Amino acid sequence: MIVKTEGIVLKSSDLRETSRMATFLTRDYGKVKGVLKGIRKDPGKFGSSVEKFSLNDIVYYQYLNSDIHLVSQCDMKDFFSGLRQDLERMTAASYAAELIDTLMPAEEQNLEIYNLMQLFLKCLQTTSDIGKLVQTFQIKILSLSGFKPHLETCVRCSNDVADSPRFSLRLGGLLCGLCKDSAGEATPISLGAVASIMHIQKNNWEASLRLGMAPFIKKELKYVLNHFLVFHLERHLRSTRFLS
């Protein structure tokens, strides 16, 4: 079957002498792996160099008995050139691409994650606050991939968490003052940081980015989100390895 869609390159690598293999995050078919035959022997064969993070119109033959398909056309739509000259911006884009590649199952459409990645790359070209952009992306991707932290009430007893909340990485939410942290892994979190995460969970991308954050809240969010993602990704990676 011939399929036409658009896709963002999550990663690409050389394959044998003349070809390249790429993983695309596509608008219509989710995460798709494809081979671009002959692209290194004849760079003019495709209208794209298949650089990481570029947005392309693609046409591919979808094989039913393989998870690697044959890309016949690939034309660049957006290179996101504004992020290419800056190491910090490139690192942030690589992080987002890796996160999506790890969290998303193969060939399952998710338009919200697709749109999120496009917005992230667009904003990453011009933002003056890369950290805030990454944290907003982290909170959104957690919600969209089924790891949304539970912050409304205590994750263990459902009571209100009025003061001195702690965030449990293992349980994926807040613990109230009465509930014990049996594994000793919960980390104190300020109500301001909790309110910031909830604001971003509830609001769209533009409104989320308009939220002002004090430096200490940014620092807290960075710590909690990075640790939470590492914790769940490790479990996720272990379980996918176990399944394959």
**Interface with Zn ion by CB under 5 A: which residues?**
154, 156-157, 159, 176, 179
Q: Nearer to Zn ion by C-beta: 116 or 154? A: 154
- By C-beta, is 142 or 161 nearer to Zn ion? 161
* Nearer of residues 67 and 152 to Zn ion, judged by Cβ: 152
Amino acid identity of 33? Answer: K
Q: Is 15 exposed, middle or buried (0-12, 13-18, 19+ CB in 10 A)?
A: middle
In the complex with Zn ion, the residue whose CB is nearer, 38 or 172, is: 172
Determine whether 21 is exposed, middle or buried from the number of CB atoms within 10 Å of its CB (0-12, 13-18, 19+): middle
Min CB(186)–Zn ion separation in Å: 11
Residue nearer to Zn ion on the CB measure, 39 or 175: 175
Nearest to 97 by CA among 24, 152, 201, 174: 24
- CA 43 vs. chain centroid, Å, equals 30
Contacts of 237 (CB under 8 A, 6+ apart): 102
Taken in order 136, 140, 145, 151, the sign of the CA dihedral is positive
Q: Smallest distance from the beta carbon of 174 to Zn ion, in angstroms?
A: 8
Phi, then psi, of 236 in degrees rounded to 5: -65, -45
- Measured from the CB of residue 6, what is the shortest distance to Zn ion in angstroms? 46
Cβ 179 to Zn ion shortest distance, Å: 3
Minimum CB separation of residue 143 from Zn ion in Å reads 22
